[in-house]
Structure 1
Amino acid sequence: MAGNVPPVADERDGLLRYLEQQRHVLKVAAHGLTDEQARLTPTKSSLSVGGLVKHVASTEDGWLDIILQLPQKPFAEAMAEYQAGYRLGPGETLAGALARYDEVAARTAEVIAGIEDLGQAVPVPKGVPWYPQDVEAWSVRWVLLHLIEETARHAGHADIIREHVDGGTAIPLMAAAEGWPETPWVKPWSPETQPA
């Protein structure tokens, strides 16, 4: 996938393709990192590239559960998982986190394909402090737009963190991940091209 979303056929295709694009640029920020590098938190925040990949996968999966109106975990358990979801643990690998993200993306495509009307109501879970108390339901369309927003926000975080880890930036990383040839304008990222 190149730097832009290809032409879209309709609203559903557009929403899914824009979400796919944001997933892709987040994964590009992880391109070529070791597990140790993916765990690094080089800025004042506690965010790492590997942790962000885990977080967005978990978040997207959770929203699918909300769309499908599956039972939600008790609040304390959900919060513990949420906090752990920002870290790539010592027994976890970046490859595993990326594979999990791909599984969630496939689940999203399957769930959305099974929903005829993107205007279908998605009831707002009650008793969750960050969900509005004065809104009864979102729509599937709203959830997809929210997932694009959430993924894009964290893709930006991952870009900044990655640059702090080894100097890798978005376009050279994308060129490397997608196998672009070197040109006078773009030299694909490689460990050898990074400043010491």
Structure 2
Amino acid sequence: MPGQVGPIANEQEGLLAYLAQSRYVLRLTAFGLTEEQLRATPSASSLSVGGLIKHVATTEESWMTIVRGEPQTVDYQAYETNFRLADDESIDDVFARYDRIAASTEKTVLDLADLEHPVPIDHSVPWNPADRDFWSLRWVLLHLIQETTRHAGHADIVRESIDGATAYPLMAAAEGWPETDWLKPWKPQA
């Protein structure tokens, strides 16, 4: 995937394209890492690259469950474990799940075909406004873009703390870009 979203024909296509790009950039933070490095927490926080990817996938899945009006069980006790890869989880498992969630999100948005589709606001949490009852599907997609890019930034910092890798050199390595005087694709440390 290129480093920029290409031309878009309409708002719905644009929102889905920016969400896909945000997912891709987040996934790149895991490129070339070992299972141990995916679980590493080398910064001041307890965040890891693998845990951040797992969390964002779970968050997107949760929002789309609400959009579709499906029953949802929220386990606030499991919130912290949602930020960590379990011992029996691999990044390939997380990526496969994230791919299924992304496909489901796209299908949901295309099937609804209405960015004004009302999405109920959860009033049980203090960060949601008490004076409104619904978000729009547009708002949910913008929120998912914000959530994904915010955590991609966290993952960038964690990744750079692990081995010094940054976004464009990782993208260059993942996509096989040629080396230039000003951009060298990432290579594993010897």
Task: Give the TM-score normalised by the residue count of structure 1.
Answer: 0.93
What is residue 71 of structure 1 aligned with on the other side? 71
Shift of 1:59: 0.1
Cα distance in 1, alignment partners of residues 109 and 78 from structure 2: 25
**How far did 1:157 drift?**
0.4
Counterpart for residue 104 of structure 1: 101
Cα distance in structure 1, aligned partners of 2:171 and 2:50: 17
**Unmatched segments (≥5 aa) in structure 1:** none
User: RMSD over aligned Cα, in angstroms?
Assistant: 1.2
Distance 2:127 2:87 in 1: 30
Q: Distance in 1 between matches of 2:183 and 2:113?
A: 43
* Matching residue of 2:127: 130
Question: Which segment drifts farther, 144-153 or 81-90?
Answer: 81-90
Runs of 4+ in structure 1 deviating by more than 4 angstroms, as ranges, are: none
Q: Of 104, 112, 118, which aligns to 1:121? A: 118
How far 1:41 sits from its partner (Å)? 0.4
Query: 2-side partners of 1:57 and 1:86: how far apart?
Result: 10
Q: Aligned residue for 2:39?
A: 39
- The amino acid of 1:16's aligned partner reads L
The sequence identity of aligned pairs, in percent, is 55
Q: What SS does the corresponding residue of 1:85 show, helix, strand or coil?
A: helix
Code of the aligned partner of 1:181? P
Q: Any idea what the Cα deviations from partners look like across 1:26-47, whole Å, max 9, x if unmatched?
A: 0111111111100000011110
Distance 2:62 2:29 in 1: 23
Note the residue ranges of structure 2 that are not aligned, 5 or more in a row: none
Where does residue 164 of structure 2 map in the other structure?
167
1:84 deviates by 1.0
Distance 2:63 2:32 in 1: 29
> In the alignment, what sits opposite 2:80?
83
Q: Show the counterpart of 2:3.
A: 3
Moved more, 181-190 or 171-180: 181-190
Q: Does 1:151 align with 2:148?
A: yes
Residues paired across the two proteins, number: 190
Secondary structure of 2:45 counterpart:
coil
Q: Is the 8 A contact 1:54 1:86 kept in 2?
A: yes
| Shift, 1:138, TM fit | 0.4
| Structure 1 position 83, deviation (Å) | 1.6
